[in-house]
């Protein structure tokens, strides 16, 4: 589904990603661990195609097509969706309108909001005065409405209280088709620096990013345990 | 002291006045049926509906003459101001009490030679939720229309007025001078929504004073989206009573060639009074000056000012001038102002949801202009959206 080949990316003239190689198959969920500042968010922003993330070298292949120079909305149309860690506030734009944009159908937008108990937020301005958990819920609702084939999740558990983590987990499972066990078609890449999201969502493979490079790959739970025990220091030493 | 009061341009104002003939020299239209289709379309786009039954009260002045003045609402009086002056012996308690006739060349001109204007009064305790409409329409070329309006919301009453100001399409020049004095008495509420829909060669000089007594509420919504040569408006509300409240919302778009000097002043004389001035301005190449002046003279007042400006062209100017003036310590006064282009991350956020860059920009602009407008009819909201979308097409 997604193939990243020797990807080098600059942000504001600074080299942040230094030769990333990563392949995520159809129906797979991968988890990307790494300290703050290691380049995880830069990778997601680059995959989505945002301005300011300059690809210096390498390619991004999605569904067999080179999307390295495609615009953000073309990528969205092709089936990539992103849950932002800190999305901007859109003054005067109601969540109802944004969900309708995502779903391309006002009724479906409303019924989704209803099914996750978010109907009171439909007429609120997008992200204005939302709590951490509400922001994540709103992001995931937008993605559920959008129904992407490939979902990028940037720290989906950050700022969410324990009570809401369950709901967030359920929403992610739905997005990534964790409710079916065969022939999943939806793939995902989850960024996490704490790893706690793995208590709610299973992943097929884990990767550790350090200083713009992927240093280690393997079973996500084992990686998570290692990081919990030894911190990222161990990964620096290990170098598989 | 504001530029408007200072009026260093006094001689320029006199010169401007000389360029126009009095509205009384132009044709008058004594009946709505005498208006043409293009007039009706333009009026509709300005929020003025003339079909029977749509509004319970209508005052329409074309050039200097009254085309329609009818009000079916019990407890509300609506008259041409010239008749009200006769009926109420010169309206001595109200006439030129909130705006000084000597303020500038335009007020002097209106005092000297008045065309007409409207008088609306809600009797004590009358609450009218359906909006009444007034319209000042310039239909002939090269005319100076001079009006003087008075609205009185008597004790405990409630009144909603929508006023549309427009010119006939394709006029090559015109000047509108509108002196307005609004009195909101104890416990009364007045919601005044003004839509400006002038032509590209029109000069507009409203001069407005408002007095709000104890527990009174005044809400002003001002919308100007279309081309105009020059607007200069700076209503001043004085909150004389305790707990009086005033809110000014404005939504202003300056296309190329427009010069719009707008804003509001609130003087807090009553304790615990509250005010809010919120403006959203967009320049597509024109100039907008967004003023706001809050004056705190009584204890426990709360006053807030917000100017947000979006520059959607490299050529325009947005000049936000927020002023806070406290005369005593026990006040809570604040302002926020921000001017700039649309944040890239907002556009990209929407693009990540599948919108093109153009659609994303338009969605953000629509949101930006979506100041909650109290009592605005649905068709007018649609018109507002259509106007914004239209502005975008040329970008």
Whether residues B171 and B43 fall in one domain: yes
Whether residues B225 and B154 fall in one domain: yes
Strands of the B301-311 sheet, one edge to the other: B65-71, B57-62, B132-138, B158-167, B189-197, B217-224, B245-254, B274-283, B301-311, B331-340
Q: What is the pLDDT of residues A188-237, one digit of tens each?
A: 999 988 888 888 899 999 999 999 999 888 899 888 888 888 887 776 66
Whether residues B358 and B331 fall in one domain: no
For residue B173, give both structure tokens: 């020049």
- Cβ distance of B350 and A101 shorter than 8 Å: yes
Q: Which residues of A touch B360 (CB under 8 A)?
A: 73
Number of domains in chain B: 2
At residue B282, the pLDDT reads 93
Whether residues B371 and B227 fall in one domain: no
Q: Which of B310, B328, B345 is the last residue of a domain?
A: B345
Whether residues B391 and B245 fall in one domain: no
- The b-or-e profile of A154-165 (16+ CB within 10 A means b, else e) is bbbbbebeeebb
At residue B378, the pLDDT reads 66
The residue segments making up the domain with residue B352 are 346-395
Whether residues B109 and B172 fall in one domain: yes
Whether residues B321 and B386 fall in one domain: no
Q: What is the set of domains in chain A, with CATH numbers? A: 29-51+79-238 (3.40.50.300)
Q: Which of B311, B329, B345 is the last residue of a domain?
A: B345
Whether residues B364 and B335 fall in one domain: no
Q: Which residues of A touch B369 (CB under 8 A)?
A: 92
Whether residues B41 and B14 fall in one domain: yes
**CB-closest option in B353, B357, B371 to A101:** B353
Q: What is the pLDDT of residues B266-296, one digit of tens each?
A: 999 999 999 999 999 999 999 999 999 999 9
- Which residues fall within 8 angstroms of residue A238, CB to CB, at 6 or more apart? A215, A216
Whether residues B378 and B238 fall in one domain: no
At residue B368, the pLDDT reads 86
At residue B131, the pLDDT reads 85
Rounded distance, CA A148 to CA A163, Å? Answer: 26
* Average of per-residue pLDDT values in chain A: 91
DSSP B358: H
Instruction: Report B:322-381 residues touching A (Cβ under 8 A).
Output: 343-346, 348-357, 360, 363-364, 366-371
Q: Which residues of A touch B309 (CB under 8 A)?
A: none
Q: Which residues of A touch B354 (CB under 8 A)?
A: 73, 76-77, 101-102, 104, 146
B394 confidence band (pLDDT: 50, 70, 90): very low
Whether residues B168 and B23 fall in one domain: yes
Q: Is the pLDDT of residue B4 over 60?
A: no
B3 confidence band (pLDDT: 50, 70, 90): very low
**CB-closest option in A73, A92, A142 to B351:** A73
Q: Which residues of A touch B345 (CB under 8 A)?
A: 88
- Cβ distance of A76 and B352 shorter than 8 Å: yes
ipTM: 0.95
At residue B381, the pLDDT reads 67
Q: Is the pLDDT of residue B2 over 50?
A: no
Q: Does B385 touch chain A (CB under 8 A)?
A: no
At residue B226, the pLDDT reads 86
Q: Which of B304, B328, B345 is the last residue of a domain?
A: B345
Whether residues B310 and B375 fall in one domain: no
């Amino acid at each position: 589904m997604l193939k990243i080949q020797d990807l080098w990316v600059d942000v504001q003239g600074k080299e942040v990603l230094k030769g990333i190689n990563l392949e995520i198959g159809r129906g797979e969920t991968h988890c990307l661990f790494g300290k703050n500042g290691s380049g995880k968010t830069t990778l997601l922003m680059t995959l989505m195609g945002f301005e300011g993330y300059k690809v210096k070298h390498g390619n991004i292949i999605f569904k067999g097509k080179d999307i390295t120079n495609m615009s953000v909305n073309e990528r969205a149309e092709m089936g990539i969706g992103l849950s932002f860690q800190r999305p901007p506030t859109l003054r005067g734009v109601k969540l109802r309108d944004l969900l309708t944009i995502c779903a391309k159908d006002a009724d479906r937008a409303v019924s989704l909001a209803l099914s996750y108990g978010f109907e009171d937020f439909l007429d609120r301005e997008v992200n204005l005065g939302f709590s951490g958990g509400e922001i994540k819920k709103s992001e995931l609702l937008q993605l559920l409405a959008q129904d992407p084939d490939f979902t990028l999740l940037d720290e989906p558990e950050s700022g969410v209280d324990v009570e809401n983590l369950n709901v967030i987990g359920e929403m992610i499972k739905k997005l990534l088709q964790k409710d079916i066990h065969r022939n999943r078609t939806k793939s995902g890449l989850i960024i996490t620096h704490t790893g706690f999201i793995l208590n709610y969502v299973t992943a097929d493979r884990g990767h550790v990013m350090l200083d713009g490079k992927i240093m280690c790959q393997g079973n996500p739970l084992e990686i998570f345990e290692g990081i919990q025990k030894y911190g990222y220091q161990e990964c620096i030493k290990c170098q598989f | 002291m504001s530029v408007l009061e200072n009026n260093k341009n006094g001689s320029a104002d006199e010169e401007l006045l000389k360029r126009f003939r009095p509205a009384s020299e132009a044709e008058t239209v004594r009946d709505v049926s005498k208006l043409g289709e293009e007039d009706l379309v333009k009026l509709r786009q300005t929020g003025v509906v003339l079909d029977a039954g749509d509004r319970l009260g209508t005052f329409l002045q074309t050039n200097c003459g009254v085309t329609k003045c009818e009000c079916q609402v019990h407890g509300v009086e609506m008259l041409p101001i010239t008749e009200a002056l006769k009926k109420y012996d010169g309206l001595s308690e109200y006439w030129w009490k909130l705006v000084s006739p000597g303020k500038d060349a335009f007020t002097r001109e209106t005092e000297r030679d008045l065309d007409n204007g409207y008088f609306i009064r809600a009797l004590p305790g009358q609450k009218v939720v359906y909006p009444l409409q007034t319209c000042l329409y310039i239909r002939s070329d090269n005319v100076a229309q001079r009006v003087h309006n008075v609205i009185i919301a008597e004790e405990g009453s409630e009144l909603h007025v929508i006023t549309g100001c427009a010119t006939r399409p394709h006029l090559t020049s015109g000047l509108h001078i509108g002196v307005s004095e609004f009195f909101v008495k104890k416990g009364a509420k007045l919601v005044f929504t003004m839509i400006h829909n002038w032509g590209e060669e029109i000069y507009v000089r409203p001069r407005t004073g408002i007095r709000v007594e104890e527990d009174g509420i005044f809400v002003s919504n001002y919308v100007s989206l279309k081309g105009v040569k020059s607007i200069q408006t700076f209503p001043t509300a004085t909150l004389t009573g305790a707990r009086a409240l005033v809110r000014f919302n404005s939504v202003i778009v300056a296309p190329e060639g427009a010069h719009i000097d707008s804003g509001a002043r609130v003087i807090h004389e009553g304790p615990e009074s509250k005010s809010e001035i919120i403006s959203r301005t967009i320049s597509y190449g024109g100039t907008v000056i967004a003023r706001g002046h809050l004056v705190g003279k009584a204890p426990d007042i709360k006053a807030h000012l917000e100017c947000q400006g979006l520059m959607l062209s490299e050529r325009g100017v947005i000049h936000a001038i927020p002023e806070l003036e406290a005369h005593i310590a026990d006040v809570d006064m604040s302002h926020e102002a921000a001017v700039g282009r649309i944040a890239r991350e907002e556009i990209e956020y929407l693009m990540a949801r599948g919108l093109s860059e153009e659609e994303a920009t338009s969605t953000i602009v629509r949101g930006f202009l979506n100041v909650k407008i109290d009592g605005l009819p649905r068709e007018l909201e649609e018109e507002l959206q259509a106007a914004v979308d239209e502005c975008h097409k040329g970008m």
